[in-house]
Amino acid sequence: MNDDFYAFFESKNYASEDQIREFRSIYIPYVKPILGHIKSPLAVDFGCGRGEWLGMLSEQGFRTQGVDLDQGMLSSAQQKGLDVQLGDGIDYLRQIPEKSVSVLTAFHVLEHLTFDKILEFFRQSRRVLIPGGLLIAETPNPENLHVVTSNFYLDPTHIRPIPILQMISLAQYFGYSRHTVIRLQEQKDLYEKEAVTFRDLFYGVSKDYGLIAQGPGGSDELAHDLDHPLQYETGIGIDEMIKRLDRRIEVLSETVARTSEHKNIDPK
């Protein structure tokens, strides 16, 4: 990979820091309950980039650590005074003591990894998380047809999209006790739109999704406080859009049939 090209690519395609903070704010209700049950909880961001999310977690009261392979992105986090390291994320996780992390996050990182490394990421996540700790992993949503056929492959370091059911299966296989999936970055006007079009089907489904998984154990009080956030879902999935489009086609077909019948009535 030509480093100069990738730096150019990031400068043209990476969201601004304000945008990243806005995107990540949806996860605050999931992590905030931990602060009421764990003293000085540690949050680790796998692929921390410029450190926007680490900064948000620090503002909430978490101790934070981050790791990233991209020194260009990491420099911004270092200038903010954040505790971040340059290096391979999997190697970094292997060095973290068992059951010492309250929140482990990975935003738009797993799609850059081979499946063997994704397996190792989930294996290490269960090892390092405290009982009842949270894993958050966000990635492009392959339900969005424009994402999966075009935008995903703009980044030459992407390996393959990760289907939602595969991400859920990984969490279940490695023993996470419960999970939720939230879909993100959808076209907001589609929430109330029934007369959807093929363009809406192709472009409108949520562009990203996040898996939030809680490890087993932990206090009953923490589990209780996480009940509501873990039931909170958002976004628009492909199945919903297909159902709406099917309904519209059915209504249009019935309208055409009635119009044809009316025109064929003999006026005598």
Residues lower than pLDDT 70 in the chain: 1-4, 6-7, 11, 263-268
Helix (H) or strand (E) run with residue 179 in it: strand 178-184
Q: pTM for the whole thing?
A: 0.91
CATH of the domain at 102: 3.40.50.150
Contacts of 167 (CB under 8 A, 6+ apart): 137, 139, 181, 209, 211
- The verdict on residue 268 lying in a domain is no
CA distance 42 to 100: 7
The one-letter code for the residue type at 90 is I
- The pLDDT assigned to 266 comes to 55
- The verdict on residue 21 lying in a domain is yes
- The pLDDT assigned to 3 comes to 64
What is the number of domains present in the chain?
1
- The verdict on residue 88 lying in a domain is yes
Average pLDDT in the chain: 92
Domain that holds residue 205: 3-263
- The verdict on residue 129 lying in a domain is yes
- The verdict on residue 16 lying in a domain is yes
Q: What is the pLDDT of residues 94-104, one digit of tens each?
A: 999 999 999 99
- The pLDDT assigned to 8 comes to 76
- The verdict on residue 190 lying in a domain is yes
Report CA 136 to chain centroid distance, whole Å: 7
Q: What is the pLDDT of residues 177-207, one digit of tens each?
A: 999 999 999 988 999 888 899 999 999 999 9
The string over 17-39, giving b where at least 16 C-beta atoms fall within 10 Å of a residue's C-beta and e elsewhere, is eeebeebbeebeebbbbbbebbe
- The pLDDT assigned to 84 comes to 97
Tokens representing 191 are: 């929430």
- The verdict on residue 158 lying in a domain is yes
The string over 97-136, giving b where at least 16 C-beta atoms fall within 10 Å of a residue's C-beta and e elsewhere, is eeeebbbbbbbbbbbbbeeebbebbbebbbbbbbebbbbb
Is residue 210 exposed (0-12), middle (13-18) or buried (19+ Cβ within 10 Å)? buried
- The verdict on residue 105 lying in a domain is yes
